[in-house]
Amino acid sequence: MQDYKAIIEVVPYALQLGMQVIDSHDDGALFELAPADRFIGNPMLRAFHGGIICSFMGCSMAATVMRFTKTQLPPSLITQTTSFLRSASADLPIRVRTEMTKTGMRVCGVSARAFQKEDEAHVAKCSSLYRVG
């Protein structure tokens, strides 16, 4: 888990978001983003802005790639596909679980699922390809 904390500290946007690593596992990690009024996209629903959710998933996936490839610099994004499945309450933290799907010498694939409560459905899912090396 210490590896992820060090990675987050060198990625300025991850620091600005305030993302934290909660747990790591063999093929990814679990990250958390605490609620904040600055993240609200729809004040009528008190819902997280979709751009914050997407950015949080992107930072989480980049950190996962950096840990697995042992690189010091964030990888270059090739493509990212995000599906927003439901609104996310701005009163609860968002968690993202990442999973490496392909670890190559030049291209890595990673997926992410965002949720608010472990037993509830996902609020968004994402998959990305990154250029490394």
Cα 28–Cα 117–Cα 15 angle in degrees, nearest 5: 55
Domains of the chain: total: 1
Q: Report the percentage of the chain scoring pLDDT > 70.
A: 98
Query: What's the whole-number mean pLDDT along residues 19-34?
Result: 94
Cβ burial of 117 (10 Å; 0-12, 13-18, 19+) is: exposed
pTM comes to: 0.93
The pLDDT mean for the chain works out to 92
CA distance 45 to 26: 37
User: What residue numbers bound the domain in which 50 lies?
Assistant: 2-131
| CA pair distance 90, 34, nearest whole angstrom | 9
Residue 94 belongs to a domain with what CATH number? 3.10.129.10
Round to whole Å and give the CA distance between 132 and 33: 26
Confidence of residue 2 (pLDDT cuts 50, 70, 90): low
| Four-CA torsion 69, 74, 75, 81, nearest 10 degrees | 110
pLDDT at res. 24: 92
Residue 97's pLDDT is 96
Per residue in 36-92, pLDDT (tens digit) is 999 999 889 899 999 999 999 999 999 999 999 998 888 999 999 999 999 999 999
Strand runs labelled E in 19-106: 20-25, 28-33, 40-42, 47-48, 76-84, 94-103
Q: Are 129 and 109 in contact (CB under 8 A)?
A: yes
